[in-house]
Amino acid sequence: MPPRHLITFADLSSAEFRALIRRAIELKHLKGLYEPLKNKVLGMLFEKSSTRTRISFEAGMAQFGGSAIFLSPRDTQLGRGEPIEDSARVISRMVDGIMLRTHTHRTVEIFAKHSRVPVINGLTDRFHPCQLLADIQTYFEHRGDIAGRTVAWIGDGNNMCQSYIEAAELLDFKLSIACPEGYEPESALLEKAGARVELLRDPADAVRGADLIVTDVWASMGQEEEQATRESAFRGYQVNANLMALAAKDALFMHCLPAHRGEEVSAEVLEGPQSVVWDEAENRLHSQKALLEFLLAEESPVRAASLSS
C-alpha cells in the first residue's frame, strides 16, 4: 500500500481533520513520557527559511522519542542537480517520514510520488496545511467548533489563503476573502469551494460580523523583489483597530508569523487582546505531533477512529 501523505487537505477526510485537532489538544495536555516514535527519524528538507516549522517538527520528534535531520539543498546533492525523483527514492529508504518546504508545490508532489514513506508539506508556493492545523486547533481552544463560523482573510491570495479555502470545505466554515485585483487565489480552488468562499475587494465587507480575522505578509518568501509594488497594491488592506471594530465582538485575530507590524497588521492588533498569535505559533508543535503520530506511529487514535467510522 502506498504511504499516506499530507500534501494538501485533499489528503485528509473531514473526520480525520477533526480527530487530529482533538488529538492535538489531548497531546498538549498529556503529562509524562509518551514515545510513540521511538527510534524513528524524520528527514526535513528546507529550500526556504523557517523558525516555527523547523523547531516544531524537530522538538515534536524529540519529545516522541525519535529524531529529525535538517537538510538543505545547499549541503545535499539536490542543490547540485540530483533529480528529486532519485533523492526521494534514496532518502525514503533511510528515514520514516519526510517534511519538505519547497519553492514550487510540484517538487513536493514529485517527491511524494517516489517516496516509500509519508511526506508532509511544510509550505510550498501554493499551500501551508500544517499552519492550518495549528490555526484550527487554536480556534477550537478559544471558541469551540469552527463549523458555521465566518473567517475573514485579508490580503494576499497566497499559500495560507489557499489552505484556508481547502479547510473551509472540510470543516464547514464560511470564508470571506478580501484581496486587491491581481492577487486572488487560484480560480480553480474558488470554483471547487463554491458558495462557502466569497471573493471581495473591500476588507470592511469581508470583516463585518466575522468570527476570525486572518492575514499574512504582503510579500511571501521568494517575492522579496516585489515588496515595493506589493506595498502599494495592498495599501488599505492593513488589519488595524478600525477594521477589527467591524468584526464580531468576540472575534479572534490570527497570523501565521513572521508578521510585519505597520504593514499587513498594526502593532496594536497583533499585541492586542483579540490576538491569539502566540498560542497559534505554539500549536504548530502540538498539532504536528498529532500529525506525526497519525502518519508515522504504529498506533494512532486518529487512525483508529477513522477506521471505525
Catalytic residues: 101, 128, 131, 216, 256, 284
Q: Is 131 in the site for ligand CP (CB under 6 A)?
A: yes
Report in angstroms how near the CB of residue 51 gets to ligand CP at its nearest: 3
For residue 198, the tally of other CB atoms under 10 A from its CB is 15
Under the criterion CB under 6 A, does residue 251 sit at the interface with ligand NVA?
no
Our finding on whether 100 is near ligand NVA (CB under 6 A) is no
Nearest in space to 168 (alpha carbons), one of 17, 295, 19, 22: 17
Told to check if 290 binds ligand CP by CB under 6 A, we report no
Question: Considering beta carbons, is residue 239 or 297 the nearer one to ligand NVA?
Answer: 239
Closest to 307 in 3D by CA, of 15, 37, 21: 15
Q: Which does 51 bind (CB under 5 to 8 A by kind): ligand CP, ligand NVA, none?
A: ligand CP
Please tell me the distance from the alpha carbon of residue 288 to that of residue 213, in angstroms, as a whole number: 23
102 binds ligand NVA (CB under 6 A): no
* 160 touches, from ligand CP, ligand NVA, none (C-beta below 5 to 8 Å by class): ligand NVA
CA distance 210 to 152: 6
Are 264 and 218 in contact by the 8 Å Cβ rule? The answer is: yes
211 binds ligand NVA, rule: CB under 6 A = no
User: Does position 123 bind ligand CP by CB under 6 A?
Assistant: yes
Residue type, 191: E
State yes or no: residue 51 binds ligand CP (CB under 6 A): yes
Instruction: Point out the residue whose Cβ comes nearest to ligand CP.
Output: 53
The answer for residues whose C-beta is within 8 angstroms of residue 208's C-beta and 6 or more apart is 246, 247
Beta bridge partners of 214: 153, 254
Q: Applying CB under 6 A, which of residues 5, 23, 52, 230 lies at the interface with ligand CP?
A: 52
Instruction: Give the orientation angle of helix 14-29 with respect to helix 159-171, to 10 degrees.
Output: 100
- Contact positions vs ligand NVA (CB under 6 A): 123, 158-160, 216-217, 220-221, 256
- Contact positions vs ligand CP (CB under 6 A): 50-53, 123, 131, 256-257
